[in-house]
Every structure is written in structure tokens, then in C-alpha cells.
A and B are shown apart, each in its own frame.
Chain A
Amino acid sequence: MQPAFADPPTDSARAFRAIMQAMARPGTVHEVAAPAPEGLSPAAAATLLVLADQTTPVWLAHGHDWLVFHTGAPVAATRAEAAFAVGPWDALAPLGDWPVGTPDYPDRSTTLIVEVPRLDGSGTRLTGPGIETESRLPLPDARALAANAALYPLGVDLILSCGDRLAALPRSTRIHPEDA
């Protein structure tokens, strides 16, 4: 069994700052890492250690035992009950099955942690909150994500992880698939 954070309070604090900066500034890439089990990137592992607990069912493709041991998070049996979902894009698509929140409670939505093969500041053009002019990210399926953004203020939020780096794509980001 892989370990988790060496010093949870301060390691989580540093990792959360990186995740928060990513969510507040879509398109920016941040370094964050934790010891990860087979099949999970260090960035995805760190995100789960910072955010998952007994109250957040996690749907995941790999690493069940490690997650349950370190966070106590229940493994989601269905997509409808998942607070977080982790895996490559092919395992998480289509987006339609994940909770997108309700008009009264748009926060009751799934956050997808998508393991991507490449993560840098190139790709599809993004605008919106947190972005001064424009930013770019390589998106797995820009049209599907643009459809998600069109649900705003409902929708799922994405954290894109690749090795020890991550970026975020909140539902508020406007995606321009024609400009990739």
C-alpha cells in the first residue's frame, strides 16, 4: 500500500492552494503531488487526499483500496451518487450521467478528476471568470465540455491531472471549440 501525505495538515494546505489557484484561474497549470497508487497520477491522488472523506462517494477506475484506507471515502456504486469521479476521459464520458446540481443547489454536482495524457497552456481557447483575456488548455472533448458549460450555473467541474501537474475547468468557463 502506498503511503499518503507525510504531514497531512501542511501538505494538504499546500496542495489545496494549488487546486484553488487552478479552479480560480482556469487554464493555469499547477504542480501538486502525493504518493499515488498504481493507476492514479500523483496530482489526482493529492486532489483526493485534500478533498475526499466519508461524506463524498468517489467513483474511480483505479486505486480503490488506497483511497478507502487513507480517506475513508465510500466507493460510489453508481454515477448518480458520486461527489468525485476519477479516471481517463474514456472512462468518464459521456458527461450526461453525472449529477449537474439542481437549480436550487447547483453545488450538488460531481467534480470530475480527468487523467489526461498532456497538460500545458495550449489547445482550446477559454474565456470567462478567472481569465483576464483568454487562456488555453488541451481538452479531451471540447464540444462535450462546451455543452456542459452551456448548462451554467449547473454542470460538472473538471480537474485535469497529468503526472504531478493539474489544471481546472469549472463550469463557468466559456469554451471556444472552433478555436483549438
Chain B
Amino acid sequence: MTDYNFAYLDEPTKKMIRRAILKGLAVPGYQVPFASREMPMPCGWGTGGVQVTAACLMPKDVLKVIDQGADDTTNAVSIRAFFARVAGVATTTRTAKASIIQTRHRIPETPLREDQILVYQVPIPEPLRFLEPRETETRRMHALEEYGLMHVKLYEDIARHGAIATSYAYPAMVNDRYVFDPSPIPRFDNPKLESPAIQLFGAGREQRIYAIPPHTRVVSLDFEDHPFEASKADGVCALCGAEDSYLDEIVADDAGTRRFQCSDTDWCAERRA
């Protein structure tokens, strides 16, 4: 027994978040405003994802939380412990065993299934925000499907660097209508946005929720002569030898020796088991 309401949030708050989630699923990629609450952690630590997870959790769920692919970092450990305490749900680090996965900035390497829900922590939900600071303007640009500015940004990448240099939070078009920010996942993960799982995005400070239903068309923006590429570091995992997973670069000693390691700790551990 816990002194908290199931999953921490009060029921009226959950109703409000649940309504926003349903609207988000009905209009994939559109950012639904919601009345984000104060959570017992600061903004920037996943308050949006935590509120979405709290509104979705059922008592029989098995929750996994990752922070840039890792189950064992501070953010992931504390959010997992939070829900174990306030919702009494089982937790796991195994992607295949989880029914809900809350993630900060990665999509697991293990392919997701129909019966899984992926909840993203989102810092800046508006893909146009760094191009146009006014909310009134970006809202109008989405309404008019006016995304030329985003293509100019990608073009400027090519003009400066010879290729599209945007390597994370790579913008994509959802259901041929809304350009959206997939949160700062590496662009290596963008192809996985077309998934059999339900994907929910929560931005706490910015007070937005959006969603991608299963099997929804998600196209990363590109040009005919500069097609989208899901890039990763050119290396091999020093632990499991994987060549096809997303790699973190790690400085291994004082001499500056570098090595690569799978960012998805569960996937890497499974390969070595």
C-alpha cells in the first residue's frame, strides 16, 4: 500500500492528460497543449514523459526506463524507482519484457511489438522553434503546412558542410501532414519511428503532448539529391562486437584512447549473455 494515488497524479489531472493523448493519436504529429503539472523532479528531467507514463500506467504493467539507451543512469534509475513506489508496478531493464518503455533520447535496438508503448521525454517539442521563436507564428506555419523554412535549414547544412549535418532531433513528416520533432534521438533511430508500437511524446515544461499511432507513415525530411541517411559512428562495440547498433564514443584513459560501446545497454548485455 502506498500513500499516493495510483501512479502519483490525481484523477482530474490524468483525465486531462488522457484527453490530450487521444487527440494526439487522432491527429498524428500535432502538438496538443496540456496543463503540465509540477512533478517531484525538475523540468528537464523528464516531467513530460513522467506525466504521460502516469496517465497510461495500469497495475499489471511492466515498466522500463532508459536514458540515452542506458537503464543504469541516474535519470532512468530514479524514474523507475518513482513508479515502482507510487504505482506499485513491476520494472525491468529487458526491452522484450516491458509493456511501457519511457525513454530519453533513444529508441531501443530490439524491435518493438504491437503490445508495447514507447513514451518519449521531450525538451523542445516545436521543430520550428529555433527558426521562428514566436509561438503564434509556428502555430500558423503548422496550420498552413508552411515548412519551407525547415528545408532552408537543411539546405544550409548542405551548403556549409556538404551534407545534412543535423544528427539528432532530425525533423520528420508524420502522416503526410505535420512536421514534428522526434525529440533528440539520434537520426540513426528515425527509421524506427515507423513502428508497430504506440509512441507518445510528452514535453512537461513546454506543455505539449503528441503521438504517433502504430504503422503511421513517418518520413525524415531530405532532398532528392541528398537523401536521408541513418548515420552512426563508424566503429564496433568494444563489449559485444556489434557493428549495426548505435554507438557511444568513450574516452577510456588519460592518454585519450577512445573506444565505442553500444548505447543500448540491454541490447549489448543480451548479446553477451
Q: Which residues of A contact B (CB under 8 A)?
A: 8-10, 12-14, 16-17, 19-21, 23-25, 50-56, 103-107, 109, 111, 128-132, 152-153, 157, 170-172
Contact = CB atoms under 8 A, between A and B. Distances in A.
A9 B16 contact: no
Interface residues of B, number: 42
A12 B90 CA distance: 19
A128 B213 CA distance: 10
B92 interface: no
**Residue among A14, A24, A132 having the largest count of chain B Cβ atoms under 10 Å:** A24
Contacts, number: 111
B22 A111 contact: yes
Contacts of A19: 18, 22
A55 B6 contact: no
Given A13-B59, A130-B216, 11 more contacts: A12-B14, A12-B15, A16-B18, A19-B18, A20-B18, A23-B26, A53-B12, A53-B15, A129-B216, A153-B27, A170-B25
16 contacts: A13-B58, A16-B55, A17-B58, A20-B18, A20-B22, A21-B198, A25-B213, A55-B16, A104-B143, A105-B33, A109-B23, A132-B196, A132-B215, A152-B27, A170-B25, A170-B26
Contacts of A56: 19
Contacts of B175: 128-129, 172
Nearest to A83: B19
B21 A10 contact: no
Contacts of B57: 13
Given A13-B6, A19-B22, A172-B175, A104 B139 contact: yes
B25 A12 contact: no
A152 to B, nearest CB: 7
B214 interface: yes
B1 to A, nearest CB: 13
B7 interface: yes
Contacts of A109: 23
Contacts of A24: 25, 198, 211, 213-214
B39 interface: no
Contacts of A129: 28, 175, 212-213, 215-217
Nearest to A173: B26
A56 B22 CA distance: 14
Nearest to B23: A107
B215 A20 contact: no
A153 B30 contact: yes
Contact of B15 (A50, A103, A104, A128): A50
A170 B21 CA distance: 12
Please provide the 9 A-B residue pairs with the shortest distance between their CB atoms, ordered closest to farther.
Answer: A170-B26, A130-B213, A9-B6, A103-B143, A129-B216, A107-B23, A24-B213, A129-B213, A157-B26
Given A23-B22, A103-B144, A10 B15 contact: no
Interface in B127-146: 139-140, 143-144
B260 interface: no
Contacts of A152: 27, 177
B27 to A, nearest CB: 5
A48 to B, nearest CB: 11
A106 B19 contact: no
Contacts of B216: 129-130
B244 to A, nearest CB: 25
Contact of B27 (A20, A52, A106, A131): A106
Contacts of A128: 175
Contacts of B11: 8-9, 12
Contacts of B33: 105, 107
Contacts of B27: 106-107, 152-153, 170-172
A110 to B, nearest CB: 11
Contact of A20 (B6, B21, B144): B21
A98 to B, nearest CB: 14
A159 to B, nearest CB: 9
Contact of A13 (B7, B16, B196, B217): B7
A107 B32 contact: yes
